[in-house]
Chain A
Amino acid sequence: MAQSSQVLLTENRRLGKQTVQFGHPPAIAGFASVVGPKEGQGPFGKLFDVVKEESLLGEKSWERAETMFMLEASRLAMRRAGTAREDIDYMLAGDLLNQIIASDFAARELSIPFLGLYGACSTLAEGLGIAASFLSYGIARHILVTVSSHFDSAERQYRYPLEFGAQRPVTAQWTVTGSGAFVLGPTGNEERTPRITHWTCGRVVDMGIKNPNDMGSAMAPAAADTIQRHFEDTGRGPDDYDLIITGDLGKLGLKLATEVLKRANVTMGDSFTDCGAIIFGNDQDVHSGASGPACSASMLGGPLLKRMMAGEMDRLLIVPTGALFSPTSFQQGESIPSVAHAVVIEMAPGEAEGRP
């Protein structure tokens, strides 16, 4: 028992330069994923909780539809956690739209004290890390973390109108339509509960990539930087994880991140992959893969945590990646700064079994 993991530690510790180890690792008490039709047709289609038949959801705009995705995922996650709206102390949420309106409007409906986050597609890890910190320092009991993205709302903001007849470049990525929601709390309902044990907050890395249609190349160095830092801070390596999965590097970005890590003498094995590279099938015509905050969030809130609950994986390192640019910045010729945060999720006994 003594050797069995930091799960039973009681003090929060700061490891190295960027990593926090949580003394009372907060549980992911409830989680949910709601996605659009294209995601449902992908290889993980059956593992998402809800697959919508169309992506407008009967709303009058794509932006409102995105809010509805977030609301449905949030409500489902709260129900699974056995928590009512009133039991949640904070809602941490973010998305890609200007002034994060999808989250703002979902927060208006839920009426939970709200902190809006922006980390582009890395927002999930930003939220999970902050929520785990709050919980671990005992200043909250339950926190809802949720992020969303929507292909059609992102397209009109970042690229062209939907009916514009342009070809997508080979490095382009397809924004995931959907949302993932997570209720973090001191305990889970299940006997074995996924818990957040570590959080490595990434720094912003910019290698001067300017092409907004090639976000994988822009984000790969940030992902590599955070992963390398995580290993240094924790003394762990790639083999210590059943799965190391980045957010939305896409096929090209995953290749580049592996290469950058290799040049730093960190050899990633077969357990290293990327949500954006696998969420869609090769026949789905998405070029380099997927992107969007909902890419890592729907994968974590669906296939990944379900596999952990089923005992297929015990320790997961998820590294959502974000390209921190706006239409204004790239039109002004700026390069694309990127960030990645790493979160360790480990299966551990629920409160009833192992905790004081």
Chain B
Amino acid sequence: MNIGQSYFWAFIVGGLWCVLAQLTVDLSGMTPAHVMVAFVSLGAILSGLGLYQPLVALGGAGASVPLPGFGHALVTGITQQMEDKGTLFGLFSGGLSATAIGISAAVVFGYLMAILFTPRGKR
């Protein structure tokens, strides 16, 4: 896959995930928060079934940036560390180690933003 194709598939796969989530909100009436939670779990399940890795191979960031990719990262993180460091150790440390950068960045920058900025009134 060349560079151009990687961008194309990232756009398509990422866009389609978002369409699926939008349809869920519009047709089921679920709140965005519920849909975010549901899609993380969905990603984890697809990953367990071995279906998510092929999607990442095709879509690249289009599969790993949407929240189902977060669920996939949790499962692959656990599986990886279970192989490397033992079953029980991996089961409880693999998920968070694989996603540590994202979560830590969100917390640190969240804190920083709260110090620097104040919400503006809506018009």
Q: Identify the A interface with B (CB < 8 A).
A: 36-38, 54-56, 62, 151-152, 155, 161-163, 166-167, 169, 211
Verify B119–A151 contact, CB threshold 8 A: no
Contact of B122 among A162, A166, A167, A169 (CB under 8 A): A162
Chain B residues near A166 (CB-CB < 8 A): 32
Contact of B119 among A36, A54, A161, A167 (CB under 8 A): A161
How long is the Cα–Cα vector from A56 to B25 in the complex, in angstroms?
A: 32
Q: Determine whether B4 belongs to the interface, using a CB cutoff of 8 Å to chain A.
A: no
Contact of A163 among B25, B29, B32, B119 (CB under 8 A): B119
**A contact patch SS:** loop
Contact of A155 among B25, B32, B122 (CB under 8 A): B122
Chain A residues near B121 (CB-CB < 8 A): 36, 54-56, 62, 151-152, 162
Chain A residues near B25 (CB-CB < 8 A): 167
Verify A162–B123 contact, CB threshold 8 A: no
Verify A151–B122 contact, CB threshold 8 A: yes
In the complex, how many angstroms separate the beta carbon of B31 from the nearest chain A beta carbon?
A: 8
How long is the Cα–Cα vector from A151 to B119 in the complex, in angstroms?
A: 13
In the complex, how many angstroms separate the beta carbon of B109 from the nearest chain A beta carbon?
A: 13
Chain A residues near B123 (CB-CB < 8 A): 37-38
Residue of A nearest to B29 (CB): A211
Residue of A nearest to B120 (CB): A162
Verify B29–A167 contact, CB threshold 8 A: no
Chain A residues near B29 (CB-CB < 8 A): 169, 211
Chain B, 54-68, CB within 8 A of any chain A CB: none
How long is the Cα–Cα vector from A161 to B120 in the complex, in angstroms?
A: 11
In the complex, how many angstroms separate the beta carbon of B24 from the nearest chain A beta carbon?
A: 13
Chain B residues near A152 (CB-CB < 8 A): 119, 121-122
In the complex, how many angstroms separate the beta carbon of A6 from the nearest chain B beta carbon?
A: 45
10 A–B pairs (Cβ distance < 8 Å), ordered by A:
A38-B122, A38-B123, A151-B121, A152-B122, A155-B122, A162-B121, A163-B119, A166-B32, A169-B29, A211-B29
In the complex, how many angstroms separate the beta carbon of A146 from the nearest chain B beta carbon?
A: 22
Chain A residues near B32 (CB-CB < 8 A): 166-167
Residue of A nearest to B119 (CB): A162
In the complex, how many angstroms separate the beta carbon of A155 from the nearest chain B beta carbon?
A: 7
In the complex, how many angstroms separate the beta carbon of A222 from the nearest chain B beta carbon?
A: 23
Residue of B nearest to A166 (CB): B32
Residue of A nearest to B22 (CB): A167
Chain B residues near A161 (CB-CB < 8 A): 119
How long is the Cα–Cα vector from A38 to B122 in the complex, in angstroms?
A: 9
Chain A residues near B120 (CB-CB < 8 A): 162
How long is the Cα–Cα vector from A163 to B32 in the complex, in angstroms?
A: 14
Chain B residues near A155 (CB-CB < 8 A): 122
How long is the Cα–Cα vector from A161 to B25 in the complex, in angstroms?
A: 19
How long is the Cα–Cα vector from A56 to B119 in the complex, in angstroms?
A: 11
Chain B residues near A151 (CB-CB < 8 A): 121-122
Chain B residues near A169 (CB-CB < 8 A): 29
How long is the Cα–Cα vector from A166 to B29 in the complex, in angstroms?
A: 13
Residue of B nearest to A54 (CB): B121
How long is the Cα–Cα vector from A167 to B123 in the complex, in angstroms?
A: 15
How long is the Cα–Cα vector from A155 to B32 in the complex, in angstroms?
A: 16
In the complex, how many angstroms separate the beta carbon of A219 from the nearest chain B beta carbon?
A: 19
Chain B, 77-123, CB within 8 A of any chain A CB: 119-123
Chain B residues near A163 (CB-CB < 8 A): 119
In the complex, how many angstroms separate the beta carbon of B36 from the nearest chain A beta carbon?
A: 10
In the complex, how many angstroms separate the beta carbon of B18 from the nearest chain A beta carbon?
A: 12
In the complex, how many angstroms separate the beta carbon of B51 from the nearest chain A beta carbon?
A: 29
How long is the Cα–Cα vector from A62 to B121 in the complex, in angstroms?
A: 9
How long is the Cα–Cα vector from A62 to B122 in the complex, in angstroms?
A: 12
* B29, B119, B120, most chain A CB atoms within 10 A: B119
- 9 residue pairs, one from A and one from B, having the closest CB atoms: A162-B119, A55-B121, A166-B32, A163-B119, A152-B121, A38-B123, A56-B121, A151-B122, A54-B121
How long is the Cα–Cα vector from A184 to B123 in the complex, in angstroms?
A: 33
